[in-house]
Amino acid sequence: MHPKRIISIDVLRGMTIFLMIIVNTPGSWSHVYAPLLHAKWHGCTLTDLVFPSFLFVVGLSMSQSFRNLDMADSGKLMKKITVRAGLIFLIGVLLNWFPFYLTPPSELRIFGVLQRIALSFLGAGILIVLLKKRNWLIAAAVMLLFLHWGILYFFGGNDPYSLENNIGRYIDLALVGEAHVYGGFGMPFDPEGLLGTLTGMSQVLAGYLIGKYLFEHQEQTNKRILHILYLSVGFFVIAKLWNLVLPINKPLWTGSYVVYTVAIVTALLLVLIEIVDKRKIVNWAWVFRVFGKNPLFSYILSGVFVRLFLQVFKWGDTNLYAWLYSDIFQAIFSPKLASFAFALCFTMFIWLFAYVLHRRNIIVKV
């Protein structure tokens, strides 16, 4: 018997995907409201909360889905985890490559958002199967954060948390080569590179442990909610103090960044539990619930359509993406509002596909 779907998890998952698509698809990157931009290096904006929230939600979802699996049959469970992680990683690489005729394999970026999700899910899943007990998993999550910090600090030279000198950059260059590393920072550096998988795993484990504690009996007692509220506040204070010696930094996915974002998304989860699970006020969240049923499929579809709009639907010196922004949205709104309106409309365009799946009660398992 499948456990009843927990609405707060669906809503949080859907909100995360909604914002992921919004921040990835402005009409013009030259005209974006500040909260919808990433911090230039150290720091954390609203946009910087989105991706770690999804990794946290992956852990939340695992706390529910793993309840139906035989944890004693570790071999079978490991196979399921590995196959799913491999599929997500492969889709991420193919999405980087799409449309395939424009990028030669010699220049294909290997890492990316889906790849970070896949590797973090794989590592966290293996630890959950092997360690099982809560205290061991807590210890593993903490050790991963400090292992990542130690590698950054001891192998990063005089300025270990800089773009130029961080060891994560050199690991990726040695592993896959400069041609296969993201170049959007003005030099080869991948914000979803291999080293950040360590802290990504910790983020997933945090979601799993908090979800398991809150939803263990398909109900959220006031006592458990209060415990997690105290935990959230404690995490926030710890992150701010840790930031004094280890900067909160998304591209490096530092331990302080993990603790900071877990604190915030946990607080949001508690608010959603109170509103949608306890008080049953759910109508406002309908858009998010639809996205929350097929989150990865919706994200992948958004990436496909962005590339179609930019690279396939082209004529002369323009493309469909630029034409829609400049000739329609910018003709109506000021540049920043037009850019945001474009992102919102594009997101709702993707939502229509998720809605069709929702109406037909189809869940695409990626």
With 0-12 / 13-18 / 19 or more C-beta atoms within 10 angstroms meaning exposed / middle / buried, residue 336 is middle
With 0-12 / 13-18 / 19 or more C-beta atoms within 10 angstroms meaning exposed / middle / buried, residue 238 is middle
Report yes or no on 216 lying in a domain. yes
Q: Residue 309's domain spans which residues? A: 7-359
Total residue count of the chain as it appears in this document: 366
Residue 41: pLDDT band (50, 70, 90) is: very high
Residue 157, pLDDT score:
85
Amino acid at 184: G
The three-state secondary structure class of 319 is strand
Report yes or no on 309 lying in a domain. yes
Report yes or no on 15 lying in a domain. yes
Residue 366, pLDDT score:
85
Report yes or no on 55 lying in a domain. yes
pLDDT in tens, 194-226: 999 999 999 999 999 999 999 886 565 788 999
Report yes or no on 2 lying in a domain. no
Report yes or no on 120 lying in a domain. yes
Listed residue (156, 164, 158, 159) closest to 185, CA to CA: 164
Mean pLDDT over each residue of the chain, to the nearest integer: 95
pLDDT at 69 over 90: no
In the chain, the percentage of residues whose pLDDT exceeds 70 is 97
Residue 271: pLDDT band (50, 70, 90) is: very high
E strand or H helix that includes residue 314: strand 314-315
Which of 19-28, 65-74, 81-90 is least confident?
Answer: 65-74
Residue 1, pLDDT score:
42
| Mean pLDDT of all residues in 334-353 | 98
Report yes or no on 169 lying in a domain. yes
Report yes or no on 105 lying in a domain. yes
pLDDT at 2 over 70: no
pTM value > 0.75: yes
Listed residue (89, 68, 91, 87) closest to 79, CA to CA: 87
What's the rounded Cα separation, in Å, for the pair 221 and 235?
Answer: 21
How many domains are there within the chain?
1
Residue 221, pLDDT score:
76
pLDDT in tens, 237-257: 999 999 999 999 999 999 999
